[in-house]
Amino acid sequence: MDKKSDAAARSGRVSRSGRPRKQEAVLASDKLQGIQSVETGFAVLDALVDGGGPLTLGEVARGSGLSLSQARRYLVSLVRCGIATQDSTTGRYDLGSRSLRIGLAALGRVEAIDLATTALRELVANTHEGGTLAVWGDEGPTIVRWLRGGGIGVTSLGLGTIFPLFASATGRVFLTYLSPGNTKAQLERELGAKVEASVETCKTIEDIKGEVRKTGVAWLKGHFLQDVRGAAAPILDSQGELVAVIAIAGPDGRRANGRDPSVEALIEAAATVSRQLCFTGAGKPSPAATDS
């Protein structure tokens, strides 16, 4: 170690190894020996969570990668702690009341908008497209976060902007996941009561809902700026209720196979936040390549 490094070490900024002390502390924590039995116990707990209902001993063993005798011992301890429960009639195992208490406590400390904002920032940084986060307000889909991307930006948007339900990608996600009772008044304002109630409009709306649910994304092109496509995806909570809609706006990036990497990144970002909110619905769908 040279004189300069030695002086830095004496000052406390770096260790004698030359690494910053913060970095060395992280490295040391990675090397700390944990309690393997606790980690194995969580593998058993994960098997109960992923099982979707009461499981036999054999199913728990297969799900956790343990032998029957190992799984039984861990289950005995989990039952004693209230983390798991065993049905006295069927012998099947399931999550216990203490698991519910832990889950509710964790869920109560989750800030959905904060999680979604973090995901939006990463999405905009990776796609270089403008991004928005919208929630349902008194007047409809309302922007609560807006980030300008490195490329095309829709400058007419800003915090508090209300998206149209029918003519925006964000609006179409709300239209899909909210009840007609919530969206009817705004649709009437946008389309007129007569048009909103027509057979043709009702069929179009049902087609929109079916496509959004199938692909996991609403996709529109040229509604705010010519040749700019907007895409929006839902963020859902543990009950499958719509919490917010995350969206991007940029050039049509579809390749020869019809896939748009930015839209795929959008769908994954929304799905990640939904999983963080304990949504356990179907896996990520593939975005459709449709013009509007």
pLDDT band at 68 (very low <50, low <70, confident <90, very high): very high
Q: Give the model's pLDDT for residue 156.
A: 64
Distance separating alpha carbons of residues 148 and 125, to the nearest angstrom: 10
Q: Give the model's pLDDT for residue 20.
A: 52
Q: What is the mean pLDDT of residues 168-189?
A: 92
CA 131, chain centre distance (Å): 15
CB 209 within 8 A of CB 223: no
Extended beta strands in the chain, E state: 84-86, 93-95, 130-137, 140-147, 218-221, 228-236, 242-251
Q: Give the model's pLDDT for residue 26.
A: 46
pLDDT band at 214 (very low <50, low <70, confident <90, very high): very high
User: How many CB atoms are closer than 10 A to CB 135?
Assistant: 18
Q: Give the model's pLDDT for residue 138.
A: 79
Q: Give the model's pLDDT for residue 260.
A: 86
**Bigger pLDDT: 174 or 15?**
174
Q: Encode pLDDT of 45-56 as tens digits.
A: 999 988 888 999
pLDDT band at 282 (very low <50, low <70, confident <90, very high): low
pLDDT band at 165 (very low <50, low <70, confident <90, very high): very high
Which residues neighbour 151 within 8 Å (Cβ) at sequence distance 6 or greater?
128, 129, 130, 250, 251
Segment (H or E) for 99: helix 97-108
Q: Give the model's pLDDT for residue 190.
A: 87
User: How many CB atoms are closer than 10 A to CB 248?
Assistant: 27
Q: Give the model's pLDDT for residue 289.
A: 42
Residue 110 has pLDDT above 80, yes or no: no
Q: What is the pTM of this model?
A: 0.65
Cα torsion 122, 123, 124, 128: sign: positive
Q: Encode pLDDT of 222-260 as tens digits.
A: 666 667 888 999 999 988 999 999 999 887 767 766 688
**Bigger pLDDT: 38 or 244?**
244
Percent of the chain with pLDDT over 90: 48
Q: Give the model's pLDDT for residue 284.
A: 44
CB 18 within 8 A of CB 1: yes
Percent of the chain with pLDDT over 70: 77
pLDDT averaged over every residue in the chain: 82
Which among 190, 165, 193 has a CA at the least distance from the CA of 177?
165
DSSP 167: S
Strand partners, 219: 231
Q: What is the mean pLDDT of residues 192-208?
A: 89
Q: What are the backbone angles phi and psi of residue 132, rounded to the nearest 5°?
A: -135, 155
**Bigger pLDDT: 253 or 219?**
219
Which residues neighbour 235 within 8 Å (Cβ) at sequence distance 6 or greater?
112, 116, 242, 243, 244, 245, 246, 270, 273, 274, 277
Distance separating alpha carbons of residues 232 and 80, to the nearest angstrom: 46
Q: Encode pLDDT of 81-95 as tens digits.
A: 999 999 999 999 999
